[in-house]
Structure 1
């Protein structure tokens, strides 16, 4: 029954205006195109250490859309689509898509134009969104100085900032106008002060979105381009924009919330990772960072992408495999103010550390759906959607923390109460929340187990957990017991 129910719920979502408000209702599955699925469904070997193309394609993504949608995701974020540096370098091949050489051509390793158009069409027929990843800051070479004539459309040295490596991240001019990369693959920094470069990118992004009916953009290396470039870029795109500002400082990241719709919430990510990577992690620091972001970002944490893993950072299970801690950490993006993003392979328990080890081939997992973390993610998505459907104010309700101890955390966002702990699988956590908006005697359900309990006076909730696992509570009027049991018993 659930296989039929989830697609029906997704296709009932609003039409594809792709506004920031529409994206708030979504949850995003991020995938590395080359490592997600092959066109013919084969399972070729793929050693991450080799840093080579392994054969994933856009047609492969189409083949596995059921897998993504069955987990409750209604948007996907794919790797950059344009033509990349060819051949092997001292840093491997450009299978990840971030080494652009031709902004006007597609990466043929992933497929052709008709393949990408079909992926977009297939997503939209399912009520799902397509997020494209774009790189504006730089283009890639395999020599220093680059052979500029090999680039398109910027094929002259004057189209780029004068070469210098970034050496001082406290100097914003150095960050914006010097180069990323290394001697093997120098990343020539586009001169985004040039009218020619600006005009190209503004027209290019509008055409890219229109040509492939993209619903949103993830923008790479945002802090390496001057801030006042971005409003015009976003306006030209005409769809939701979320920028990567890889920094843990809330005040620094907040400046980019003024120029794009949203940012990837790196400051909270670092504190989330630290909070659950061990039983001595600080939950209070996580709370403090969230509260600071809520008061500092232009739209609080509502317009952020919340994540635990991505292609640039080590997988959580490379440092911690206690499944109680893992489950608590994975739950966070689905219960907070922003848009949840899950990095492919997280649901399969992948353990790769830093790049390139965190870019494993998903086909090596067999796309097995009857696994604890797959079921956890499916249930978290379903609970979030139920909360959104139950309360017109849910997406504008600010997350609060009615209880914080050294090892437990209560996270409240009416009508959802999430009870988290970093005590680990050997712990027996307990939570006591003295007041909520639940009515006295209202029946609540832990959506992760389908057990029920009753709220007390002033909506008080007292719970004793088991084996350090989180509890996600909703009124049974919002998430009924029958649906809960069907959800957990599927597969």
Structure 2
């Protein structure tokens, strides 16, 4: 029965991105080549050999487009320009070419739910109700002296901003400096498709598609009445199908959607055989601590069982159809060590355990810069240290709800997006070797301990990631770890996550202890050999040491 399922799951139409490992570069914090305190494209070019050494195949480059930087580049003022702080279009062309020489492809962020309010499209749209580009954005009359409705922005406050020139309100799901595009307008959609084609012609291999499930808005009586703007509204499928057919499917691309609001029963429409995207980032396993109101300072309690349930739900679906984007970190999340590991247990052992757990699931693994070093959250001493708009909003909301300043800072700091955006820690030198200038965001104080200088050490976190990459790409287990079936085991164990990847020929198990204590296990499978472990043990006994993990070949 298992063998038959395995045969059905392997498609003859295999894609290059199914066998790839993606590394996300947040350029502002990656490497500063001109020492002005801000990372840049030349900095990425200078570190390509490091990425080649790690073994990755694809760079996901966070936005470098022209932008006033209200939201760190996700407010784009020119889709076909490069922000001066990052360099020039010539630098971009050089990056694409130099990466290609090393066998590395490049994908970019595609931000088309909104633009900057400084984009020429919006500048034209706001001048006159009768302007041809007026309906490229969402404009409505207010009600009485207030906005059109009570919807809230993701970043806090009303999602409507009054524009006095024409006396109407424009909609912004995020910052008021990020007006939403009107995807109901066919001319707007065609302009977006032309821009996408322009970048593909430059040699881009695909896109991470930002906030795409927000592009459909429902204003009728059956739509949303109140609360934060909701994603994945009825009718979005028509828009996404056209986007896929008009742009993505004409090329051999990797497209990964940021898709909040997509449930498990909708996954096949998004990433199935005829899905809109190659894969999507799911949030169920990563936002376990978020309640429906999205307030960071009121974290929801969760357990390892919840994490395993979220992972197994999608992995079981991917046994039959679709493809997963495997991740624990990105620029919008705190560091995974702080999210999943208790403070006393944070270190190389637990970092390797987390790496093995997510890296060998079915899908394409994504590494966020510094994750391969074991980088951690930073410590915020004042709200003035926050750069992230969402963090500032959450802090102010916490104060309004009665938190004192110290409590609010601690609660919001634990989940601040700035935790992931501190400068990359290259060395023990000042600012972690990121820059000799004053970094745009202070470096984490632990850079003298956690950095890339010791990556040649066979016991380093970096070396462990290299082994995982090699295991996926260049070993006798490559076929299995890419296309094999997923099977959860020890599902009821409160402290251990375990699963098996299986095909006709082999079976590989991953066992991981998520606790800072020794735990007992009853693993009823015959072990053929230990493939990889983060400990000095050479065999699996009836116990696992704190944060110990094993990758095992089983007798199939």
Structures share a fold, TM > 0.5? yes
SS at 1:267 equivalent: coil
Instruction: Tell whether 2:326 aligns with 1:286.
Output: no
- Do 2:319 and 2:486's aligned partners in 1 also have CA atoms closer than 8 Å? no
1:242 corresponds in structure 2 to: 256
**1:97 CA displacement:** 1.7
2:15 corresponds in structure 1 to: 21
SS at 1:362 equivalent: coil
Q: Return closer, same or farther for 1:341/1:463 CA change in 2, 3 Å cut-off.
A: farther
Question: Which has the larger helix fraction?
Answer: 1
- Do 1:134 and 1:217's aligned partners in 2 also have CA atoms closer than 8 Å? yes
**1:247 CA displacement:** 4.0
1:383 alignment partner, one of 463, 471, 482:
471
Q: How does 1:111-122 map to 2 (within 5 A)?
A: 111-122=87-98
Q: Return closer, same or farther for 1:81/1:370 CA change in 2, 3 Å cut-off.
A: same
1:302-324 CA-partner distances (Å, limit 9, x unpaired): 52211111111222344544235
1:350 alignment partner, one of 369, 372, 376:
376
- Do 2:113 and 2:181's aligned partners in 1 also have CA atoms closer than 8 Å? yes
- Do 1:20 and 1:240's aligned partners in 2 also have CA atoms closer than 8 Å? no
1:400 alignment partner, one of 487, 498, 513:
487
2:454 alignment partner, one of 340, 361, 370:
370
Q: How many residues get paired?
A: 411
**1:292 CA displacement:** 2.6
2:76 corresponds in structure 1 to: 100
- Do 1:134 and 1:219's aligned partners in 2 also have CA atoms closer than 8 Å? yes
List gaps (5 residues or longer) in structure 2: 1-12, 141-147, 154-158, 161-169, 216-235, 292-298, 379-414, 426-430, 434-450
1:458 corresponds in structure 2 to: none
Q: Return closer, same or farther for 1:224/1:191 CA change in 2, 3 Å cut-off.
A: same
Task: State the alpha-carbon separation in 2 of the partners of residues 218 and 248 from structure 1.
Answer: 16
Instruction: Tell whether 2:243 aligns with 1:233.
Output: yes
1:267 corresponds in structure 2 to: 284
1:68 alignment partner, one of 38, 51, 58:
51
Q: Return closer, same or farther for 1:391/1:55 CA change in 2, 3 Å cut-off.
A: closer
Q: Return closer, same or farther for 1:325/1:150 CA change in 2, 3 Å cut-off.
A: farther
Instruction: Tell whether 2:444 aligns with 1:444.
Output: no
Q: Return closer, same or farther for 1:22/1:435 CA change in 2, 3 Å cut-off.
A: same
**1:193 CA displacement:** 1.8
Task: State the alpha-carbon separation in 1 of the partners of residues 135 and 239 from structure 2.
Answer: 19
SS at 2:485 equivalent: coil
- Do 1:32 and 1:96's aligned partners in 2 also have CA atoms closer than 8 Å? no
Q: Return closer, same or farther for 1:95/1:167 CA change in 2, 3 Å cut-off.
A: closer
1:160 alignment partner, one of 122, 137, 151:
137
Q: Return closer, same or farther for 1:122/1:429 CA change in 2, 3 Å cut-off.
A: farther
**1:368 CA displacement:** 1.7
Task: State the alpha-carbon separation in 1 of the partners of residues 289 and 358 from structure 2.
Answer: 10
- Do 2:472 and 2:481's aligned partners in 1 also have CA atoms closer than 8 Å? no
* CA RMSD, 1 decimal: 3.6
> TM-score, normalised on structure 1?
0.73
- Do 1:248 and 1:270's aligned partners in 2 also have CA atoms closer than 8 Å? no
1:346-402 CA-partner distances (Å, limit 9, x unpaired): 234231441334311115334524163323322322232245x53534422221122
SS at 1:181 equivalent: coil
Task: State the alpha-carbon separation in 1 of the partners of residues 320 and 330 from structure 2.
Answer: 23
**1:94 CA displacement:** 4.2
1:209 alignment partner, one of 195, 200, 207:
200
Q: Return closer, same or farther for 1:26/1:430 CA change in 2, 3 Å cut-off.
A: farther
SS at 2:23 equivalent: strand
Q: Return closer, same or farther for 1:403/1:417 CA change in 2, 3 Å cut-off.
A: same
> TM-score, normalised on structure 2?
0.65
**1:231 CA displacement:** 3.1
2:220 corresponds in structure 1 to: none
**1:297 CA displacement:** 6.4
- Do 1:271 and 1:289's aligned partners in 2 also have CA atoms closer than 8 Å? no
**1:242 CA displacement:** 0.7
**1:200 CA displacement:** 1.4
1:312 corresponds in structure 2 to: 332
- Do 1:165 and 1:178's aligned partners in 2 also have CA atoms closer than 8 Å? no
Task: State the alpha-carbon separation in 1 of the partners of residues 19 and 326 from structure 2.
Answer: 13
List gaps (5 residues or longer) in structure 1: 1-18, 45-53, 86-92, 454-460, 477-491
1:416-447 CA-partner distances (Å, limit 9, x unpaired): 321111122xx2234433236x6xxx333334
Task: State the alpha-carbon separation in 1 of the partners of residues 316 and 278 from structure 2.
Answer: 17
Instruction: Tell whether 2:523 aligns with 1:433.
Output: yes
Q: Return closer, same or farther for 1:32/1:167 CA change in 2, 3 Å cut-off.
A: same
1:95-126 CA-partner distances (Å, limit 9, x unpaired): 73211112232223212122111111111111
2:388 corresponds in structure 1 to: none
Instruction: Tell whether 2:544 aligns with 1:465.
Output: yes
Task: State the alpha-carbon separation in 2 of the partners of residues 340 and 418 from structure 1.
Answer: 16
Q: Return closer, same or farther for 1:20/1:357 CA change in 2, 3 Å cut-off.
A: farther
**1:37 CA displacement:** 0.8
Instruction: Give 1 or 2 for the bigger CA radius of gyration.
Output: 2
SS at 2:109 equivalent: strand
